[in-house]
């Protein structure tokens, strides 16, 4: 079984993915980390040296690669991954997908200290983050909501989200 975690930057995909993988004793793959290893560049370097179009093509390639084997895996994809090309169809055909839903406020608070890692927001002032994220999230929600299930994450710890997720996955997999 493959489980793909998706959602906006700062929604907790990587942290929750690692916890979930440990609890289910399944390997974990972070798509951004995989792209960095394969390309031998950080995400920031890929955007600066090769541009976003190149990044999206490689992201699609490695997404297909990681979904194409028979191994059980928990996969955290990038915030933009489901929103380009036919990636959301590919994800849903090959995995059980989970949208980690977070409010603009939660996302802004988490991203303030981590902007520098993310080329799409690194140049923004903290006070401009809510407006940018609000608009960007609005464009992306139609893709995120195509997931098999969604979990509201705002008032829960990563540990609680992971336990809720495990319960929901079990319920969904037992449905006739
Ligand atoms: C992106 C999100 C990032 C990374 C890249 C682009 C996006 O991943 O893939 O910077 O388009 O939202 P995280 O969601 O893990 O930060």
Question: Contact 74/29 with Cβ under 8 angstroms?
Answer: yes
Tell me, in angstroms, the distance from the centre of ligand 1 to residue 13's CA: 11
Ligand 1 in reach of 17 Cβ (< 6 A):
no
Q: Please report the pLDDT score of residue 174 as a whole number.
A: 77
Q: How far is the CA of 79 from the centre of ligand 1 (A)?
A: 4
Residue 140 Cβ < 6 Å to ligand 1: no
Encode 31-60: b = buried (16+ Cβ within 10 Å), e = exposed: bbebbbeebebebeebbeeeeeeebbebbb
Sign of CA dihedral 84, 89, 94, 95: positive
Is 9 near ligand 1, meaning CB less than 6 Å away? yes
Name the helix (H) or strand (E) containing 152. strand 149-152
Nearest to residue 5, comparing CAs of 155, 144, 167, 159?
Answer: 144
pLDDT at 170: 85
- Sign of torsion, CA 6 52 33 110? negative
Is residue 72 classed as helix, strand or coil in its secondary structure?
Answer: coil
- For residue 73, the model assigns a pLDDT of 97
- Of 104, 87, 91, 171, whose CA–CA distance to 138 is shortest? 104
Q: Which two tokens stand for residue 85?
A: 């090309």
Closest listed residue to residue 106, CA positions, set 154, 175, 143: 154
Atom of ligand 1 at shortest range from CA of 35: 9
Question: pLDDT by residue for the chain (176 residues), tens digit each?
Answer: 999 999 999 999 999 999 999 999 999 999 999 999 999 999 999 999 999 999 999 999 999 999 998 899 999 999 999 999 999 999 999 999 999 999 999 999 999 988 998 999 999 999 999 999 999 999 999 999 999 999 999 999 999 999 999 999 888 877 77
Residues sharing a CB contact under 8 Å with residue 26, sequence separation 6 or more, in sequence order:
1, 3, 20, 72, 73, 74
CA-nearest residue, atom 11 of ligand 1: 80
Residue 81 is predicted with a pLDDT of 98
9 CA from centroid of ligand 1 (Å): 6
Question: What is the spatial distance between Cα 75 and Cα 97, in angstroms, rounded to a whole number?
Answer: 9
């Amino acid at each position: 079984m493959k489980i793909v975690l998706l959602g906006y930057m700062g929604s907790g995909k990587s942290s929750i993915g690692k916890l979930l993988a440990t609890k289910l004793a399944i390997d974990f793959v972070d798509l951004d980390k995989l792209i960095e290893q394969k390309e031998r560049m950080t995400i920031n370097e890929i955007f600066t040296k090769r541009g976003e179009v190149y990044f999206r093509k490689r992201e699609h390639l490695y997404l297909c690669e990681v979904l194409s084997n028979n191994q059980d895996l928990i996969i955290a994809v990038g915030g933009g991954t489901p929103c380009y090309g036919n990636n959301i169809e590919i994800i849903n055909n090959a995995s059980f997908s989970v949208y980690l839903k977070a409010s603009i406020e939660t996302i802004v608070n988490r991203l303030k200290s981590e902007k520098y890692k993310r080329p799409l927001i690194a140049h923004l002032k903290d006070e401009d983050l809510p407006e940018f994220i609000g608009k960007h999230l609005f464009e992306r929600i139609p893709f995120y909501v195509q997931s098999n299930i969604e979990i509201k994450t705002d008032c829960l710890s990563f540990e609680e989200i992971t336990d809720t997720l495990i319960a929901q996955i079990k319920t969904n997999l037992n449905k006739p």
